């Protein structure tokens, strides 16, 4: 296991002062060489984060714990043979954009809904601020990445996966969450600051993402790899089941609109040799492929769309 001591942590408060160049350099290095980083002083109040954490843990205890224990018992009763393709997590998903569904999710009390809506609004602002910082580091026009995500209706897809990773009596048999890259754009994670388990793959070694109080962990998805033409890459990550403690994970995905056309930014693709660039595709089409192959390598997904482009070009040329 590689140490997490060098994991990039960026104090966003430094972006407003003399240390801005150094903070931007650290952000650029994190995006180029890690695909993950943590941000502090990000503008979301600690009081709101504490409320979200308290209500999320109470909701799991009140509504979801018994259901999960029943699932866990069935998963382990055959000695774990059925656990290979399962994840040791209890989860529900909230959609914020383009059309929110939080009012339709059962078992959420009104105060929890209110707090989660407020938290989502803060995260949306943070995601767009971070995307503009990435634009600055990449030499792209301000707003390029957010515009690339908006599709025909001018609205991205934005949602939150709320997960609990309860203690696992046999972490040798089952993963908390199997290794994968994220399909979408930029992912903002509010994770438990006491129970770890999140790891990323770097230079062939699994590195712990350190739990840091009131931080937001950020990672880059497949769509940013395509738009940046591979300058910034999505990274394999997983959650290791823990024998003790119930890890909270609130991951918010700021993704392209379903009909957004994704392709390398021309300014970043000009220097590429012919055939080396990433493909062009509609995000919804990518997601249809991703859901079938989430826990597999991302490269064949990119190659599949490059192949489709090639076939389309041939058909046009011979028509």
- How does pLDDT run across 28-55, given as a tens digit for each residue? 999 999 999 999 999 999 999 999 999 9
Find how far residue 17's CA is from the centre of its chain: 29
Q: Tokens in use for 298?
A: 């991302």
How far apart CA 18 and CA 32 sit, in angstroms, is: 23
Instruction: Work out the number of other CB atoms within 10 angstroms of the CB of residue 94.
Output: 21
How far apart CA 246 and CA 89 sit, in angstroms, is: 10
112-171 pLDDT, tens digit per residue, is 999 999 999 999 999 999 999 999 999 999 999 999 999 999 999 999 999 999 999 888
pLDDT score of 144: 98
Helical axes 110-138 vs 20-33, angle rounded to 10°: 100
Give the chain's domains with CATH numbers: 7-316 (2.60.120.330)
Find how far residue 158's CA is from the centre of its chain: 11
65-85 pLDDT, tens digit per residue, is 999 988 888 777 765 556 677
Residue 314 has pLDDT above 50, yes or no: no
How far apart CA 258 and CA 290 sit, in angstroms, is: 13
Residue 316 has pLDDT above 50, yes or no: no
Global pTM exceeds 0.85: yes
Confidence class of residue 23 from pLDDT cuts 50, 70 and 90?
Answer: very high
Contact 262, 286 (CB under 8 A): yes
């Amino acid at each position: 296991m590689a140490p997490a001591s060098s994991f990039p942590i960026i104090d966003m408060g430094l972006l407003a002062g003399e240390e801005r160049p150094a903070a931007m350099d650290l952000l650029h290095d994190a995006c180029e060489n890690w695909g993950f980083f943590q941000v502090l002083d990000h503008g979301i109040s600690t009081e709101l984060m504490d409320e979200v954490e308290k209500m999320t843990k109470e909701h799991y205890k009140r509504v979801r714990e018994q259901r999960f224990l029943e699932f866990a018992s069935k998963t382990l009763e055959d000695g774990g043979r059925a656990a290979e393709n399962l994840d040791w997590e209890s989860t529900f998903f909230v959609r914020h954009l383009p059309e929110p569904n939080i009012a339709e999710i059962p078992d959420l009390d009104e105060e929890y809904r209110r707090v989660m809506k407020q938290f989502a609004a803060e995260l949306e602002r943070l995601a767009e601020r971070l995307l503009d910082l990435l634009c600055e580091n990449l030499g792209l026009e301000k707003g390029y990445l957010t515009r690339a995500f908006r599709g025909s209706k001018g609205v991205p897809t934005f949602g939150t996966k709320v997960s609990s990773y309860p203690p696992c009596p046999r972490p040798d048999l089952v993963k908390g969450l199997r290794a994968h890259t994220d399909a979408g754009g930029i992912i903002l994670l509010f994770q438990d600051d006491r129970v770890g388990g999140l790891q990323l793959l770097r230079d062939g070694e699994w590195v712990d993402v350190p739990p840091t109080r009131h931080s937001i962990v950020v990672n880059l998805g497949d769509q940013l790899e395509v738009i940046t033409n591979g300058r910034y890459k999505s990274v394999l990550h997983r959650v290791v089941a823990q024998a003790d403690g119930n890890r909270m994970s609130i991951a918010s995905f700021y993704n392209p609109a379903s009909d957004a056309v994704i392709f390398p930014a021309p300014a970043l693709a000009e220097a590429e040799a012919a055939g080396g660039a990433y493909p062009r595709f509609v995000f919804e089409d990518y997601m249809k492929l991703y859901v079938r192959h989430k826990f597999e390598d991302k490269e064949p997904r990119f190659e599949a769309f490059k192949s489709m482009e090639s076939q389309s070009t041939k058909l046009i040329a011979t028509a």
